[in-house]
Structure 1
């Protein structure tokens, strides 16, 4: 990409957890695994990573993608491939040897400048990735290897419009406050449901999503009830009107309601 030439592009940023705590050899190995992981994920998703303008950073990178790379395929196939490869890589490794990755995506102006990349999409992707609550996902969920955060625009243009295999209900809407940045975003963590991410600061939820989750939970509890169990009692309000004329001796009498009448 020509320096100073303004354009709009998809920007994807990613970062490894725990890189700084490793020794020199560990950091070297993590860098090699990071590069191989992203290269294989792009290949699996049918993307050409060699066409990406990448700014490496040891434990992470910021990539500006050309228009030839389909945005939905990046958000969907590429990210899902990262998740699968991470699980395979971490399967037989100790907790300290696992790779755990945060990924962000934003769309907007992005172009090379004197000391890296400039443009609002670059800033947005960087702020989303650096958001402190997102880093806590790995502490709250020790078995999780991947966390994705999308800018509001990327989410609306790809997931909301049905251009990916993701469901809107798989994402947790949050409000990201990072330095000067203040905007809504959407978080997806494989293996977790949105309510598992309630700890995210500033998180919000769609009322319809919450209601559906509650209904699903109730449905699941109902479906798991033993088939021979006794059903709960059903109470129904009934109203009876009896007209009496003259004195009535009702001793030893029984009054009832005939439901068949």
Structure 2
């Protein structure tokens, strides 16, 4: 009796870390409805991300890897952060809206997205092997603020949480038309992972909502385009480019309301604390 020889062991090398933008996406309430819905939304997500990436005018190969109910997308360093925060996220929004146009409520697609930039190791097969940017993007995607925002703005196709480092390289300078009032500084936390950081909530097509735990500290002098936060009330107001306060009037009974709890796709239940409806766009 003879046996076939074992194939030679493949040697996988890992390159030195190089800069990438990590974009981690996840389908909102992905586990609801059983495998037919899960499959449809997974295929739709792959298509939407591919279309958003297609025709990127900047050089370099992108890396995409399926991760559970979403995807890890790595954009090469030659793709400007400003393009990713504007064109790419707008394309994601448009793609989700196009998918949802003829779908009933049960099959609506929504995405939570985390964005960070940093050094990432890639192996010889093009597989990401580690990097803080990958971890941070996933944490930002899954943080309490991202989950609360999907409830506060229930019709938003995409909810993004952007790292402070990415924000400060783009938005204070108005690169590619970014507007500071479309980003809200937040405390992004994933308690079960012992993760907490300053980040920026961005909801393409909507003003970012007021959430239960905004960051109200004054901005640094570096962020010259952000309105000063002399008081808590001023720090949490939406202002037009001309300085006019555009916040809708608060509800007559109370400025805040508690909207209860939500069960997410991973079956973890969290409590939505008081959400200020004054700045929401639901």
- Equivalent residues of 1:14, 1:129 under 8 A apart: yes
Number of the residue aligned with 1:172: 184
**C-alpha distance in 2 between matches for 1:40 and 1:81:** 8
Q: Provide, for residues 141-173 of structure 1, a one-character-per-residue CA deviation record: whole Å limited to 9, x for no partner.
A: 221211111100100111222222220111110
Q: CA deviation at 1:89?
A: 1.9
Q: What TM-score do you get using the length of structure 1 for normalisation?
A: 0.73
Judged with a 3 Å threshold, the aligned counterparts in structure 2 of structure 1 residues 40 and 47 are, in CA distance, closer, same or farther, namely farther
Number of the residue aligned with 1:227: none
Q: What TM-score do you get using the length of structure 2 for normalisation?
A: 0.68
| SS of the residue 1:147 aligns to | strand
Number of the residue aligned with 1:40: 51
| SS of the residue 2:177 aligns to | coil
**C-alpha distance in 2 between matches for 1:169 and 1:218:** 11
1:192 to 194, 206, 211: 206
Q: CA deviation at 1:73?
A: 1.1
| SS of the residue 2:175 aligns to | coil
Q: CA deviation at 1:2?
A: 5.9
Judged with a 3 Å threshold, the aligned counterparts in structure 2 of structure 1 residues 45 and 216 are, in CA distance, closer, same or farther, namely farther
Number of the residue aligned with 1:139: 151
- Equivalent residues of 1:12, 1:104 under 8 A apart: yes
**C-alpha distance in 2 between matches for 1:11 and 1:110:** 9
Task: Kindly tell me the number of residue pairs found equivalent between the two proteins.
Answer: 218
Number of the residue aligned with 1:20: 31
Q: CA deviation at 1:217?
A: 3.9
Number of the residue aligned with 1:213: 239
Q: Based on CA coordinates, which of the two structures has the bigger radius of gyration?
A: 1
Between Structure 1 and Structure 2, the one with more helix by share is 1
Q: Provide, for residues 196-224 of structure 1, a one-character-per-residue CA deviation record: whole Å limited to 9, x for no partner.
A: x2224344375266466396247999xxx
Note the residue ranges of structure 2 that are not aligned, 5 or more in a row. 1-11, 218-227, 250-282
**C-alpha distance in 1 between matches for 2:248 and 2:23:** 37
The answer to whether 1:95 aligns with 2:95 is no
| SS of the residue 1:216 aligns to | coil
| SS of the residue 1:96 aligns to | helix
**C-alpha distance in 2 between matches for 1:220 and 1:30:** 35
